[in-house]
Amino acid sequence: MPLDAGIAGLLEFINSSGYPPMNEGSVDDARKGFAALAQASVPGSGPVPVGSVVDASVAGLPTRVYRPTADGPVPTIIFFHGGGWVIGDLDTHDNACRRLCADTDAVVVSVGYRLAPEDPFPAAVLDALNAAQAITQSLEAYGGSGTWAVAGDSAGGNLSAIVAQTIPGAAAQLLVYPAVDVFGTYESRNVNATGRFLDMAVMEWFVTQYLTTHVEPHDTRLSPLHGVRPGLPPAIVVTAEFDPLRDEGRAYAAALADAGVPVDAVDWDGLIHGFLDMAAFSPAADAAIGDMNRRFAALLR
């Protein structure tokens, strides 16, 4: 399928923005560019409305708590943002979390974990685990029901998968184009190596920032594909056609299925890595986000 027209237009906008490719600029430039894209992605009508939004702190980390308008006890979703463990924050994924909250009628707790290169691996993993542990021990203060789940995109999908493998009791996991096998070899990395937002040069730059010491290729704190086992929470794994991470996401879904874990693997033709923040530019991305949120809502209940 050809590249979605709305996504193609967005890529032209990015290429003409004046920001250098992430791997050719500074970390600060990359963070500013990502923040600018996130701001441009908020529709003219404004952010998705929810019941309330409150900034808070969990395990010493900044969090943002989104509450739906629904009454009564609801599930709690712990969300980890993407950005290669280097960029992204609570603000870049604010509208995505708002929509997840509204579409699922669940409380969403977005966690601002430490970023590389200031805090390299395994800082993000430790933060994700500590935050999830604290949140799951206080569910009455969030959704109020005993049901909790994890969700995240890209590097956030990586952290979500690690949390789901480490902390027992999750009801579900939503992994959106997750990075799950950092040192793996996949055809999608060859066919989508350049020109579509996330490319191999940027991926390698992210990994260089994140990994400052030797890490074993099969370390499950980095590549959770190697930690799949029976009994993990049911999962929705979302991948995009023109994404270097497409095939490792598919491999993760297949490994879950082989282990007897219920998994809903959803591939989206015509889309690229990062489409979670691209609904304002692409009706196809908007439809994909709505679809995966509906699937996740059904899984939570």
Marked catalytic residue, from 154, 160, 188, 223: 154
How sure is the predictor about 301, in pLDDT bands with cuts at 50, 70 and 90?
confident
17 is catalytic: no
Sequence spans of domains, the chain: 5-300
| DSSP run (H or E) holding 271 | strand 263-272
Residue 45: pLDDT over 90: no
Preceding omega of 122 cis (within 30 degrees of 0) = yes
Residue 196: pLDDT over 90: no
Tokens of 133: 């542990």
Marked catalytic residue, from 103, 153, 273, 282: 273
d(CA 19, CA 181): 29
273 is catalytic: yes
Taking each helix axis from N to C end, the angle separating 283-300 and 5-15, rounded to the nearest 10 degrees, works out to 110
Tokens of 206: 């992210």
Query: Smallest Cα–Cα separation from 54: which of 99, 94, 88, 96?
Result: 94
Q: What pLDDT shows up at residue 119?
A: 98
Residue 35: pLDDT over 80: yes
Q: For 129-163, how does the pLDDT look when each residue is reduced to its tens digit (9 = 90+)?
A: 999 999 999 999 999 999 999 999 999 999 999 99
Assigned superfamily of 5-300: Alpha/Beta hydrolase fold, catalytic domain (3.40.50.1820)
Q: For 4-15, how does the pLDDT look when each residue is reduced to its tens digit (9 = 90+)?
A: 999 999 998 888
154 is catalytic: yes
Marked catalytic residue, from 103, 105, 199, 243: 243
